[in-house]
Amino acid sequence: MRLGLDRLQPLGRALMLPIAVLPVAGLLLRLGQSDMLDIAFIAAAGQAIFANLGLLFAIGVAVGLARENNGAAGLAGAVAFLVTVEGGKVLLTVPPEVTAAFAEQATRDLATAAWKTKELAKLSVPAGILSGLVSGWLYNRYSGIKLPDYLAFFGGRRFVPIAAGFAGLIGAAVFGLGFPILEGAIDALSRWVVSAGPIGLFVYGTLNRLLIVTGLHHILNNIAWFIIGDYHGATGDLNRFFARDPSAGAFMSGHFPVMMFGLPAACLAMYRSALPDRRKAVGGMLLSLALTSLLTGVTEPIEFTFMFLAPLLYVLHAVLTGIAMVVMDALGVRLGFGFSAGLFDYVLNYGLATRPLMLFPVGAAYFAIYYFAFRYCIRRFNLKTPGRETEPATVATASSSSDDQAAGIVRALGGSSNLVSIDACTTRLRLKLVDPAQVDEAALKALGARGVVRPGGNALQVVLGPIADRVAGEMRALSHGAPPVAAPAMAEPLPAEPNAAWVAALGGAANVLELSISAGRVRARVANPAAIQRGAITQAAPRGWNEVSPGVIHALVGF
């Protein structure tokens, strides 16, 4: 499937890195509270993560956007965020009533500082995301910058945090001087969402599922979970829930009936609809998918089994999610999670929930609706769900090692030389390829992929489930250690830097218009492509090379 949204894909991916720390934050915060273990320092440790979400987003988004996820971008994100927040505090205008009750100057100063910290904390997540976006862009743009010799120490990656600091000054001016406008805009958004009532919840729930195909649902979730609403300085539905706001949880509760009951029922329907002689082959896979959804709330592996086979069935699934949001809100149910709407989070946060037992009758109804809807549609329209294919489906077995799976995926993607970048979010590989046409989708599905999405350009996403991040790491290790491609045995390899040997391989100095190296990649542009010595370049670029357009060479040579 092709979508014209490839430019937004990195943002959706980057937002997942800071969100990944929320499970440990929620776990520590809940275990330390009085109705659990009643250990104050454990609760304080969890609260520290929630209190510094802005900083975590600044670091995580910057690293997620940067090439090779380099840590220098994370440092730059932290610098930009701290300059933005601390500089913005100085520029805030303090209302007279904040200090009117205090006579001593020291006390007035403390009251002023406390007010500034509390007020700007309301915008810490937007400030963190913007700081991360700017810092990631600065790293990708300037990490290879060359300065004059007397300033050379500050060149390259060291330049990025410096530039981020100056960018933070702009952020400080925006958030400090523009605080009344920004606060008013977020308050207006929060009031609109609240006033929208069931309609707003329905639209959120439906879009949350529909946007999964693009990977952009993370952006929508960040607005709902971390920005909308304010309760004693805690912003967003998720933060307010853990701060014990009795009105929080509206944007989370409706996910539980779908993830714990509805989608496992869909798996049962697919199993019952499979051909009798293939049920055993697909039963283990469908059971694994159902348990993953039930226990952890990770649903994409299930959704991609029918998303493209039956788009109308997927639209029904999205609409039912929106309806679940409305129903749970109408029943006064308030549930929350630190990771997703699975049984683990339900049990852990039971003590914070409102009317949590209402989940079971609603869930039972959703189980029945999903089971019979899927069973009817699969049989009525002869959908080729697992176990109903014309040829027996190849199911990845547990006996295959993870290394073999990663190596197989690399081969199915066209080999190491076809991989430009390898990233992952919760359930999917997010890739940039030299030539997407080399991808073997049938082989990917045989290796356990639940779906393949082509957002546009050279981007590709492979849905694997919760193992995606581990597989991405193994693929990176395999790609970095890839052997030379088609190198003549007796020839001497060229140095992996743009020196005289590279100039010769590109047809001589007169033929070279541009030649540079950055982040392990040689970039060259020549006047006459016919003069290029392709064999010599193949030896010099063991990770592969490509003529991206006539006369323009990109070669991967290591780091």
Spans of all domains in the chain: 5-197, 254-381, 402-479, 500-556
Confidence tier at 257 by pLDDT (50, 70, 90):
very high
Do 402-479 and 500-556 show the same overall fold?
Answer: yes
Identify the pLDDT of residue 488.
35
Mean pLDDT on 2-9:
52
Identify the pLDDT of residue 496.
43
C-alpha torsion sign, points 470, 476, 481, 485? positive
* 118 pLDDT more than 50: yes
Q: Lowest mean pLDDT: which of 37-51, 299-313, 393-407?
A: 393-407
DSSP state, 551? T
Active site residue 425: yes
- Residue 205 zone, left/alpha/beta (φ > 0; ψ -120 to 50; rest): alpha
Identify the pLDDT of residue 369.
96
Cα–Cα distance measured from residue 332 to residue 327, given in angstroms and rounded to the nearest whole number:
9
* 297 pLDDT more than 80: yes
Identify the pLDDT of residue 364.
97
Percent of the chain with pLDDT over 90: 35
User: Taking a C-beta distance cutoff of 8 angstroms, is the pair 429, 420 a contact?
Assistant: no
Confidence tier at 400 by pLDDT (50, 70, 90):
very low
Identify the pLDDT of residue 402.
56
Identify the pLDDT of residue 270.
92
Residue with the larger pLDDT of the pair 535 and 357:
357
Percent of the chain with pLDDT over 70: 87
User: Taking a C-beta distance cutoff of 8 angstroms, is the pair 499, 550 a contact?
Assistant: no
Q: Which of the listed ranges 265-274, 427-436, 541-550 does the model predict with the highest average pLDDT?
A: 265-274
Q: Lowest mean pLDDT: which of 120-124, 339-343, 436-440, 543-547?
A: 543-547
Cα–Cα distance measured from residue 466 to residue 463, given in angstroms and rounded to the nearest whole number:
9
Identify the pLDDT of residue 557.
61
Residue with the larger pLDDT of the pair 434 and 328:
328
* 164 pLDDT more than 90: yes
* 391 pLDDT more than 60: no
Which one of 286, 302, 425, 460 is the catalytic residue? 425
User: Taking a C-beta distance cutoff of 8 angstroms, is the pair 336, 354 a contact?
Assistant: no
Confidence tier at 481 by pLDDT (50, 70, 90):
low
Pair of tokens at residue 383: 């959908």
Identify the pLDDT of residue 499.
61
User: CATH number of 402-479: 3.30.1360.60, 3.40.50.2300, 3.40.50.10860, 3.40.50.620?
Assistant: 3.30.1360.60
Q: What is the pTM of this model?
A: 0.67
Q: At what angle do helices 9-19 and 124-142 cross, to 10 degrees?
A: 120
Pair of tokens at residue 96: 């007279």
Confidence tier at 381 by pLDDT (50, 70, 90):
confident
User: Taking a C-beta distance cutoff of 8 angstroms, is the pair 541, 557 a contact?
Assistant: yes
Identify the pLDDT of residue 240.
93
* 500 pLDDT more than 80: no
Mean pLDDT on 158-163:
94
Identify the pLDDT of residue 6.
54
Q: Tens digit of pLDDT for each residue in 538-558?
A: 777 656 666 666 677 777 665
Confidence tier at 149 by pLDDT (50, 70, 90):
confident
Identify the pLDDT of residue 69.
80
For every residue of 449-499, DSSP letters joined together read --EEEEEETTEEEEE--TTHHHHHHHHHHHHHTPPPSS--TTSPPPPSSSS
Identify the pLDDT of residue 520.
58
* 198 pLDDT more than 80: yes
Identify the pLDDT of residue 491.
36
Specify the CATH class of 500-556 in words.
Answer: alpha beta
Identify the pLDDT of residue 501.
72
- Cα–Cα distances (Å) from 318 to 207, 258, 291, 313, 531, in that order, read 7, 10, 20, 9, 56
Confidence tier at 192 by pLDDT (50, 70, 90):
confident
Q: Tens digit of pLDDT for each residue in 54-68?
A: 999 999 999 988 877
Residue with the larger pLDDT of the pair 9 and 112:
112
CA neighbours within 13 Å on the CB side: how many for 57? 24
pLDDT mean across residues, the chain: 83
* 518 pLDDT more than 70: no
Mean pLDDT on 497-522:
71
User: Taking a C-beta distance cutoff of 8 angstroms, is the pair 544, 485 a contact?
Assistant: yes
